[in-house]
Structure 1
Amino acid sequence: MDVDRDTVVEIAVSVGAVALFIAVIVVIGDVYNRGGLSTDGGMALVGAITGFVVLMSVLGLGLAYYLNR
């Protein structure tokens, strides 16, 4: 199976972003877990999800520009 360089870059960036998202969720769960997720933890989780969506959008646009020039 022959995979071109652009595909490998897209995969690496996506896996890195997902790994970062998982790490942030684990940290939020560790910091805000007091017998259940607190209200502040819920807000941090919503912020993490929002940040992930924005990050993936920015990375997608950046990769589209970088790989198609």
Structure 2
Amino acid sequence: MLEREQLIEIVVAVSSIVLMLGAMIYIGQTYGSDGVLQPEGAELLVAVIVGFIFLLTAVGIGLAVTLNDPEDGLEDDDADAQNAA
């Protein structure tokens, strides 16, 4: 069975990809004619790709901060050294 964190990451990643694909399909249907994409559509398509990169960066940082559990042994080694002395 998947852990809770893995399930959250999968749902967020799949929903981000579905959002990007939906935007790309919308642009293709709106600005495409006879298999050719108009210049305005091409600019929007590039903007969607760049936006997707920024979105996944923000989502990755957000998930790292949200799902990071400080009790997982990621503490500073100096604190362990001070406690042992």
Larger RCO (CA within 8 A; separation ≥ 6): 1
1:50 aligned partner: 50
The count of corresponding residues between Structure 1 and Structure 2 is: 68
Q: Percent of aligned positions with the same letter in both sequences? A: 34
TM-score by length of 1: 0.94
Q: What's the Cα RMSD here?
A: 0.8
Secondary structure at the aligned position of 2:33 is classed as coil
Name structure 2 gaps, 5 residues minimum. Answer: 70-85
Larger strand percent: 2
Give per-residue Cα distances to partners, 1:2-41, cap 9 Å, x unaligned. Answer: 2110000000000000000000000000110122101111
2:83 aligned partner: none
Flag as ranges the 4+ runs of structure 1 deviating above 3 A: none
Which has more radius of gyration? 2
Name structure 1 gaps, 5 residues minimum. Answer: none
